[in-house]
Structure 1
Amino acid sequence: MVSFWHVVMQSLGCGGRQIKMSPKNVVLITGCDSGLGHSLAVYCHSLNMTVISACHNANSEGARLLRNLKDPKRMITVEVDLLKPDTIEHVFQYINDFLSINKDYQFTALVNNAGVMCFGEFEWQTSAQFEMQINVNVLGTMRITKVMLPLVREHRGRIINITSHCGLQALPALGPYAASKAALRFWNDSLRIEMRQYGVEVINFIPGSFVHLSNISARQQDHAKVMLQAFNEEQRQFYFSYFKQFNNYLRVISGFKAPNQFNDTYLLEKFRDALTSTVPRTIYIHEPWRYKFYWILFRICPAPIVDLLTVKFCAMPTYDQIMHSTQQHKNN
């Protein structure tokens, strides 16, 4: 049971002491093939922890790099697909057996990082695309958490849910993704209250935007082709120029990147506090000054102004811009 003063210290943002990690501290991190998940796995390994890295593909470049780290006994890669319950049950059984053999080890944390993203206005996205984002980001995270909760509770570990700024402020062309992250945000808060009585911390960690360093949007151009193929004739004629330029703009984030590009010392320090503090905050937000400035405006401005600010914040092509540019080109 968490004490009253512990809760007060959390609410005031008063950090406790840092727990020194050792190989006897076991952490499970999902989505370790690339991006933030890969970096968190490497970082936890550097903290001397035993890391169970859940990769979507155990033969991916990211998984191979993890297995090649020094002291590979502390870096265990497993294949987990959040849409396949049998793979979730497998990783649970693996960890449960591992802890049964190594009785002095402790299951310290479950880090729910895995997620998928698809850019595109809601009318463009197919049902398969928006259902995929809900199924992976929300239901998949819930599935693995439900299976792992008995171990978390038994070891008085903690759960760190990686959400998004999109869960705080919805953005255009990311409706289903934002909906999934907002759902995670409220589920996280509910779970935090439920698990507090068992001495389990549940933490919302918002890492900021680094989509250009991640593979979360690697298949964006493939998604765009699927959307275009699903358009009816009216949609194809109405959206074509805008749709084309919108996705050309996104080419910079498309394609697969090296899994070890991410390196943000300040973010990793915040993650360490979430992972090792005896009094972790309930929410950690990592953001540049530009984000902070916009969040202040979003809170104080009326909805029509917030809508305009959101478009400016995203800095992505809009229908009006493209149509105006096309008309000017025709006139010239």
Structure 2
Amino acid sequence: MVLWNFLRRHSLPVSPKNIIFITGCDSGLGFNMALLCHSCNMTVISCCHNADSKGAKYLQGLQSSKRMYTLEVDLLKHDTLVEARGFLEKFLKENKDHKLLALVNNAGIMCFGEFEWQTRNLFEQQINVNLLGPMRLTKELLPIIRSHKSRIINVTSHCGLQSLPGIAAYGASKAGLRFWNDALRIELAKFGVKVVNFIPGSFVMSSNIASRQQDHANEMETQFSKEQQHFYGDYFKEYNEYLKIISGPKPLQFVDEHGILNTFKRALLDENPKSIYINEPLRYKIYRILFNICPTYIVDWLTIKFVSMPDYKYIKVLKK
């Protein structure tokens, strides 16, 4: 076991000839992963949803190094995936000594709100971007991935291990991504392709993944029936008032290499990678262990405590 752990932690050599293809680089984790790989002297293809975003502009400023290339990729638009594949194929053809080291499926969106509140547009968009998006892009790139024996890193979530109230659709998308990841790992192992599940832990405060929460809340409220407006009343308003702290676009945040990025670096460069890498604060670790060993009624109680969202004031609403 000691020998295996030593071999597992042996790192792959890095050079500018190693290409890392990352989605969701406009801000947050994807932006910082792109910077990390670039600082490690690797070549980065950073895919941004909006080429005019602050993150995209910053990364474009590094293109003079000839190791940072920024593409506009929308996981819901097939033509942008085809264009991304074409860019990578052309780059590899012109740089035959380069190798695609890894595809990092990082892009994702999140919407808070009880499932009854969420519009069909909102929950379908989360499934589309978080689950079907990585599937579509990976499908496009698989011939290249097989040829180069590249690594696939799928960024999932603790919500894929234990779904939480208020983000049911998000949890479903990440759980789906987790199980797709596991099947893909087995399917591609015979080709020398390693597939890794990376769980970054609590990162919502440093990310723009929930920046449109108030827009989402407005969309939900406008589609409430009169009965729902009366039934949920102040609870809906209090719930979304509580979430204002994560709403709105955040400035670019530069994360140091400790913790989350160090865990990502191991997922990327461990010669014999684990199937899953988890970065988490102690609180998350304790809850995760308890979720696995406790009976359901205790897990439900712990989940409510973990989420710490406003309580539904049932009697107050009925009196109105």
- Normalising by the smaller structure, the TM-score range is over 0.9
Which residue matches 1:78? 71
Task: Please state if 1:251 is matched with 2:244.
Answer: yes
Deviation, 1:323, is 4.6
Letter matched to residue 85 of structure 1 = H
Q: Could you say which residue in structure 1 is the equivalent of 2:191?
A: 198
Check whether the contact 1:195–1:201 (CA below 8 A) recurs between aligned residues: yes
Q: Deviation at 1:95? A: 0.6
Moved over 6 A (4+): none
Where does 1:17-166 land on structure 2 (aligned, <5 Å)? Answer: 17-69=10-62, 71-166=64-159
Residue in 2 aligned with 1:216?
209
Give the deviation of 1:227 after TM superposition.
Answer: 0.3
> Deviations 1:221-265 (Å, cap 9, x if unpaired)?
000000000000000011120000000000000000112344451
Q: Assess if the C-alpha contact under 8 Å between 1:211 and 1:253 holds in 2.
A: yes
Q: Secondary structure at the match of 1:265?
A: coil
The count of aligned residue pairs is: 317
Q: Of 303, 306, 310, which aligns to 1:313?
A: 306
Task: Tell me the TM-score normalised to structure 2 length.
Answer: 0.95
Percent identical residues: 56
Indicate if the aligned counterparts of 1:165 and 1:208 stay in contact, CA closer than 8 A.
Answer: yes
Residue 184 (str. 1) matches residue 177 (str. 2): yes
SS at match of 1:21: coil
- Residues in 2 aligned to 1:307 and 1:264: alpha-carbon distance in whole angstroms: 35
The runs of 5 or more residues in structure 2 that have no matched partner are none
For the residues of structure 1 that align with 2:122 and 2:267, how far apart are their CA atoms?
A: 32
Deviations 1:139-192 (CA, angstroms, capped at 9, x unpaired): 111000010111111011100000000000010000000000000000000000
Q: Distance in 1 between matches of 2:311 and 2:180?
A: 33
- Distance in 2 of aligned mates of 1:263 and 1:255: 23
Label 1:14 to 1:177 Cα distance change in 2 as closer, same or farther (>3 A): farther
| Separation in structure 1 between the aligned mates of residue 171 and residue 297 of structure 2, nearest angstrom | 19
Q: Is this contact kept in 2: 1:13–1:281, CA < 8 A?
A: no
Residue 236 of structure 1 corresponds to which residue in structure 2?
Answer: 229
Structure 2 CA distance, aligned partners of 1:200 and 1:131? 30
The Cα of 1:269 is off from its aligned counterpart by 1.4
Does the 8 Å CA contact 1:191/1:202 hold for their aligned counterparts? yes
Is residue 109–residue 126 contact of structure 2 (8 Å, CA) maintained in 1? yes
Q: Which amino acid aligns with 2:259?
A: Y
Between the aligned partners of 1:238 and 1:292, the Cα distance in structure 2 is 36
Distance in 1 between the 2:298 and 2:257 partners? 33
Q: Tell me how far apart the structure 2 counterparts of residues 145 and 98 of structure 1 sit (CA, whole Å).
A: 18
1:227 corresponds to which of 220, 232, 242: 220
Unaligned segments of structure 1, at least 5 residues: none
**Displacement of 1:71:** 4.6
SS of residue in 1 equivalent to 2:108: coil
How far apart, in 2, do the equivalents of 1:81 and 1:13 lie? 40
